[in-house]
Amino acid sequence: MFNDVELNTDDEPVVFKAQLFALTGVQPNRQKVMIKGAAIKDDNWDNVATKMKNGATLLLMGSKEEDIPKALTPAEKTQFVEDMDESQLQSAMKLPAGLTNLGNTCYLNATVQCFKTVPELKDALNELEGGHGADDRALASALRDLYRTMDRGQTLPPVILLQLLHNVFPRFAERGEQGGFQQQDANECWVELMGVLKRHLNRKVNPGDPNSGTKSVIDTYFGLEFDTETKCVESEEEPVNKSKEHFLQYNCYIDKDVKYLASGLKNRLTESMTKNSPILGRDANYVKTLKVSRLPGYLTVQMVRFQFKQKDAINAKILKDIKFPMMLDTFDLCSPELQAKLVPMRNKFKEYEDSIVESSSSVKAKGGRDAALKKAHEEDESKEMQPYWLEDDAGSNNSGYYELQAVLTHKGRSSNSGHYVAWVKYKGDTWIECNDDDVNPIHVEDVMKLSGGGDWHTAYVLLYGPRKLPKDFKKPAEEAKSEEKMES
């Protein structure tokens, strides 16, 4: 029995059933909720509206799936794909679980699905102990528990995570004139969740040293560093100010000349500003230049598509088509010092690609070099990989090469309206569209159509993961030596 369960009739009944699921573990589709002999529907309160009063007693009938005795379950019959419904098809293909929309909560659902593609993040969450205490820590624990349930293939409502998000960040709990939750900006949610995880997911820098300090897991795998130089363009006497800056996202600025992601990323490396000059004794023009001095294993790129319009008081959207690649090379964005560190691994990738092409007898007949590399890449997905980080910087990127693994899109004209969806890489050319609880396999070509240019879903946040080299790959010289040893 549960006392003092809060019920808000401004929300649909399915939201209340989601709350009961969080309390009892009984899935909403297995619940029958009764009040004075009447069963509550999923879509409205009409038939029980007159019976809903403070202090009313409700009866929940239903059982958790794992509580059903096996002897009572019917024998399983062979099912063919064409006879399966969407839920059965999802289970058969082992597609990821979806998340129920609890009323304009697609921004949260899409963010959670994108985060889930980072195995190191999930591992760190599993190391997080407990689930009580301040709401801030409980929010991280709720994400951990949500992923554990999703890993069992269960589509569910993220009720507890949403409630804690509202407690920690009240602006996400804002309601509209009709009483329902207002739509929120998905990137703001992304940034705030990252901040919470940064505070609570920490590991020792040197696990074998009991006196070792700790470092945030988020900084380890998502942290960007820039070397900056700020120079006054009106005074040669004023010294150049050098510093370092740290970010968890790389902003892609869009202007009339930007047509591709690469040029938008380069825009980020130069800033013009006006500030007081101590030498000139007045405001003067400055130019700030940046170079990446540390690449993270996972690179988050925010497409800066929203601009606040004072007249309409909305974040208006830039719909321009900006092409983004599946394979991203960030070498040209880096400082000379970092570039020197990336060269050895980049040479390994070149040697690997050359060896694939040389060993493929059917390159000319079946699509050439690109086809051979694509086939090898798909085969590599099941292999053990070499570390993707620099030897003295765990969690960094040691080549400058990235592969797209998740896209968060927005459909609409304002960040506080419309709809958000996550698109995540599955395997090969297959991706998954995670549209709340509607989870569908799609082809990679559909992902490349998310670049913008109209009212269709437009890429808002891109998540790139590290390109990896198979552990069993050897340089041609190393292979020759091993062959000589075998012959001798």
Distance, CA of 349 to CA of 357 (rounded, Å): 12
> 411 - beta bridge partners?
419
Residue 82 C-alpha from the chain's centroid: 32
Query: What is the enclosing helix (H) or strand (E) of 424?
Result: strand 419-427
Q: Is 246 a catalytic residue?
A: no
Could you say which of 166, 419, 434, 457 is catalytic? Answer: 419
Give the H or E element holding residue 442: strand 438-443
Q: Could you tell me if 166 and 108 are in contact, meaning their C-beta atoms sit under 8 angstroms apart?
A: no
First to last CA, the chain: 77
Location of structure tokens 């292999």: 383
CB 391 within 8 A of CB 341: no
Residues in a beta bridge with 466 = 402
Under 8 Å between Cβ of 370 and 363: no
Nearest Cα neighbor of 468 from 406, 411, 383 is 383
For residues 6 and 23, give the distance between their C-alpha atoms in angstroms, rounded to a whole number. 12
Q: What are the respective helix, strand and coil percentages of the chain, to the nearest 5?
A: 35, 25, 40
Which residue among the candidates 106, 189, 252, 334 is catalytic per the annotation?
106
Rounded to whole angstroms, the Cα distance separating 416 from 154 reads 29
Q: Is 189 a catalytic residue?
A: no
Please give the Cα distance from 245 to 181 (Å, whole number): 36
Q: Are 28 and 14 in contact (CB under 8 A)?
A: yes
Rg for the chain, CA atoms, rounded: 26
Q: From CA 254, how far away is CA 198, in angstroms rounded?
A: 28
Number of H helices, E strands in the chain: 13, 19
Comparing CA positions, the residue from 21, 85, 78, 9 lying closest to residue 47 is 9
Which residues make Cβ contacts (< 8 Å) with residue 199, sequence separation at least 6?
Answer: 136, 216
Torsion of CA 447, 448, 451, 455, to 10 degrees: -60
Residues sharing a CB contact under 8 Å with residue 58, sequence separation 6 or more, in sequence order: 5, 33, 34, 35, 40
Residues 6+ apart with CB under 8 A from 370: none
Closest to 352 measured CA to CA, from 328, 330, 377? 377
Q: Which of 320, 325, 322, 323 is nearest to 455 (CA)?
A: 320
Could you give the residue numbers annotated as active site? Answer: 106, 419
